[in-house]
Amino acid sequence: MRLTAKLLLPLLMAAFICGCSGTDSGTLTLAIGGAPDEIAYWERLISRFELDNDIEVNILRQPTDTDQRRQGLLIALKSGQADPDVFLMDVAWLAQFAASNWLEALDSMLESGSVSEAAFFERILNRADRYRNQLVAFPVYVDGGVLYYRTDLLAAHGFKSPPETWAELVETSRAIQEKERKNNPYFYGYLWQGAQYEGLVCNFLEVAASGGGGIIEKENRILVASPENIRAAKLMKDFIHKYEISPPSTYTEMKEEETRLFFQRGQALFERNWPYAWLLHQQEESAVKGVVGIATLPHFEGGRSVSTLGGWHIGLSRFSDRKDDARTLIKFILSYETQKALALNLGWTPGRRDVYRDSLVLASLPHLADLAEAFENALPRPNFPYYTQISEILQRHLNAILSGESEAERALGAAEREINEMAGRYRDTP
Amino acid sequence: MRRSAGRDTRAAVLFLGPLFLFLGLFILLPVVGTIATSLYRDISFVDREFILFDNYLRLLGDDSFWRSVRFTLFFIVCSVPLELAIGLGLALFLNQPMPGRWFFRAAILIPWAIPAAISARAWQLIYNFHYGLANYLIVVSGLSESPVNWLGSSLGAFIALVAADAWKTAPFVAIIFLAGLQAIPDELHEQGRIDRASFFQRFRNITFPLLRPVLVVALLFRTIDGLRVFDLIYVLTGGGPAGSTNSLSLLGYRYFLAGDFGHGAAVSVALFVISLVLSIAYARMARFGGISY
């Protein structure tokens, strides 16, 4: 008998613990991811909210890695869990989450006037946060690709301003690279993200759209292999292999951080990156502190500059059991004060358009004035619920083009076939 | 007599019960659940529907699935024998009496003790095009004039992955072999020495045959582990370049992230079936070896 008790006790305890943890409906749960100091700041912000509103908020800490944050939310939402109630989503998953019917419509927040539509970037709200005429999210942190350049090197070699077109970028890069390499053999003209991951698609969409290309759906067919897109993919390959202004490691290891660190060591003239790199380039230990400029990305002759829209958007779970409190929390996070505080303390580029005109914010983050312009024209990624699969296929074929393993026409043609085959499978709802 | 048999049964139930409960709850249930999911069109943004084997049929016609199968099988075919060879060499070395043997035995375990994601990051630095150790060594030693873009070609990335995996897991194999070596009675070797058998002859006729059961264990462990390789690839190549190192588990994970649970589950079940077939093959191999330990 004693033996039975000894064996069963741990099991009973395990069952007890499992049984207790699942049903915690008392508090509002907010899932926030990021670097440790970012989460620490959010905790301070939220504790102020708790005091002011008498609503208890439980913060669910998520990692920095985008895939892992998505995985964490996916499991909870797929199983219809009440927690987390409120969470941040990468703009690239919005369509999937909305189409899965996991997001509560937030139109009522605009109608009730608790959030003002005019405060936001109109294009972003309409093209990224609206899914089938329902508002499913609000931007908290807006991102878009920008061009960083070395002001000192441009001046030293007699260039007045950063390049407007891709041809100018190539020309400037080659001229300066040739001279700089005499002292610095690993100096490169242009750094961007070419590794096989989502960032590669963002880079490609920018180059493609800057010459009239893009991914569009026409009569139930998704078009990828357009002449404009082929031209863009070829140009990206040429940056590496023909003009040799981008390092060969571009298509193997260049993601945001690799690019930023390379540029920050003073090893490059131009860099395509997201706005977060700005503050880090200005750090004490950065070799390029004080000699970095920021500009909109170049475009093809006759085209216009385009930034891929990135960033984090806030949404409310349809399974939430505290929807009213959740809306109060969302309202707080979207308020002018909170958005301003996030910009000043974490350098987050605000989701609200009006914060970009704040004199205090502009005094400490002068580059926001330039960014606002880039964000006005930011290009959301194609709005399909199965965008992830489209991106997977594109990443593979684009990466093959960059590595020289296949020709642009053939690879994009193959990508288009694969994408439409895949999309057929996700469309045939009975 | 009867009484004690009843008590034995009861004790057996008590001892085995928790184990079966554990296995059922944490192994059998998820496996059955995954198989069930794989029979549905279970996509987060499309209506759920029972489709029987449709996911599998699509899988059979999917190039990227076959690419992943080829890669995964080729990966174990190359990495497992390499790991066994290195592991055996290490074990033979560590089994020799020598000063400081305890130190080597402990030190050899370090790669095995490091989490795969961290060692993958370390290897990523080694293979780095601009400041990696690998390029430094081949340029300094004169093997190549210019640095090599290791992770930039399918072959290079494949070799890089095999090397990183072998580095990490050969110590594990070595420990298994070492245990096997120590179970071989010294008298046999002594006898061999009296008969003037050379080191190589003794290895072929004494050590190796007696190590065979251990070899099968190591082979089985490494094969199953190699089949489900994930963390090393996730960190080191992310499946690139151009999707050439997309292992089966990585493929399944991508479907899961995209919200296509049915298809992802089908990939997992395919992986499960491959593991099962190989395990059974090994088990038979061990039995037909005719060595009873």
In this model, does residue A6 exceed pLDDT 90? Answer: no
Q: Average pLDDT for residues B172-182, to the nearest whole number?
A: 92
**Do residues A385 and B45 lie in contact, with contact meaning Cβ atoms separated by under 8 Å?**
yes
Indicate the pTM of the whole model.
0.83
Q: Does A399 touch chain B (CB under 8 A)?
A: yes
Cβ atoms within 10 Å of A27's Cβ, excluding its own: 15
pLDDT digits (tens, 9 = 90+) for B95-122: 888 888 888 888 888 999 999 999 999 9
pLDDT at A18: 47
What is the band of A238 on the pLDDT scale with cuts at 50, 70, 90? very high
CB–CB of A232/A408 below 8 Å? no
A-chain residues near B257 (CB < 8 A): 67, 70-71, 74, 388
Nearest to A252 among B17, B241, B261 (CB): B241
How confident is the model at residue B106, as a pLDDT? Answer: 87
A403 touching chain B per CB within 8 A: yes
Task: Read off the pLDDT of residues B75-93 as tens digits, 9 standing for 90 and up.
Answer: 999 999 999 999 999 998 9
Residue A302 in contact with partner chain B when CB distance is under 8 A? no
Residue B203, pLDDT above cutoff 60: yes
SS3 B73: helix
Domain ranges of chain A: 27-143+309-376, 146-306+386-427
Residue B218 lies in a domain: yes
Cis peptide before B241 (omega within 30 of 0): yes
d(CA B160, CA B123): 8
Domain membership flag for residue B219? yes
Report d(CA A45, CA A413) in Å as an integer: 49
Beta pairing class for B40-41 and B49-50: antiparallel
Residue B293 is predicted with a pLDDT of: 42
**Which range marks the domain in which residue B194 is found?**
61-288
Question: What is the tally of structural domains in chain B?
Answer: 1
Interface of B with A (CB under 8 A): 11, 14-15, 17-18, 21, 43-47, 49, 58, 64, 124, 128-130, 149-154, 157, 238-243, 254, 256-261
How do residues A119-149 score in pLDDT, each as one tens digit? 999 989 999 999 999 999 999 999 999 999 9
Instruction: Answer whether CATH 1.10.10.10 is correct for domain A27-143+309-376.
Output: no
Query: Average of pLDDT values for A73-77?
Result: 94
Assess A392–B contact: CB distance below 8 Å, yes or no: yes
Which of B49, B124, B243 is nearest residue A396 as measured by Cβ atoms?
B243
Could you say which of B18, B128, B151 has the minimum Cβ distance to residue A11? B18
Q: Is residue B39 part of a domain?
A: no
Contact A429 B47 (CB under 8 A): yes
Structure confidence by residue, pLDDT tens digits, B12-62: 999 999 999 999 999 999 999 999 999 999 888 888 889 889 899 989 988
The pLDDT assigned to A22 comes to 45
Q: What is the pLDDT of residues B250-292, one digit of tens each?
A: 999 999 988 899 999 999 999 999 999 998 888 887 765 554 4
The domain defined by A146-306+386-427 carries CATH number 3.40.190.10: yes
- Residues from chain A contacting residue B240 (CB–CB below 8 Å): 195-196, 251-252, 396, 399
Mean pLDDT of B163-190: 91
Write the CB contacts of A323 (distance below 8 Å, at least 6 apart in sequence): A85, A104, A316
Answer whether residue B280 is part of any domain: yes
All residues of chain A having their beta carbon less than 8 Å from the beta carbon of residue B17 are: 7
Predicted pLDDT of residue A25: 53
Looking at the partner chain, which of B47, B153, B259 has a beta carbon nearest the beta carbon of A403?
B153
The mean pLDDT value of chain A amounts to: 90
- Calculate mean pLDDT across residues B59-80: 93
Please give the distance of CA A274 from its chain centroid, rounded to a whole number. Answer: 8
Query: Using the 8-state DSSP alphabet, how is residue A88 labeled?
Result: E
Q: How far is B128 from chain A (nearest CA, A)?
A: 8
Chain A: residue nearest B261 by CA? A78
Structural domain includes residue B222: yes
Residue B143: pLDDT band by 50, 70, 90 thresholds?
A: confident
According to the model, what pLDDT value does residue B4 have? 64
* Interface predicted TM-score of the whole assembly (ipTM), two decimals: 0.77
For A255, B7, B57, B98, B193, the CA distances from B202, given in Å and listed in that order, are 54, 50, 53, 20, 8
Q: Which residue from B minimizes the CA distance to A394?
A: B242
**Which residue in A375, A252, A260, A407 sits closest to A308, CA to CA?**
A375
Task: Identify whether B54 is part of a domain.
Answer: no
pLDDT at A41 > cutoff 80: yes
Please determine whether the domains at A27-143+309-376 and A146-306+386-427 fall in the same fold group of CATH.
yes
Residues of B in contact with A383 (CB under 8 A): none
Region A37-53 average pLDDT: 93
- Bridge partners of residue A217, in order along the sequence: A222
**What does the pLDDT read at residue B204?**
86
Predicted pLDDT of residue A26: 66
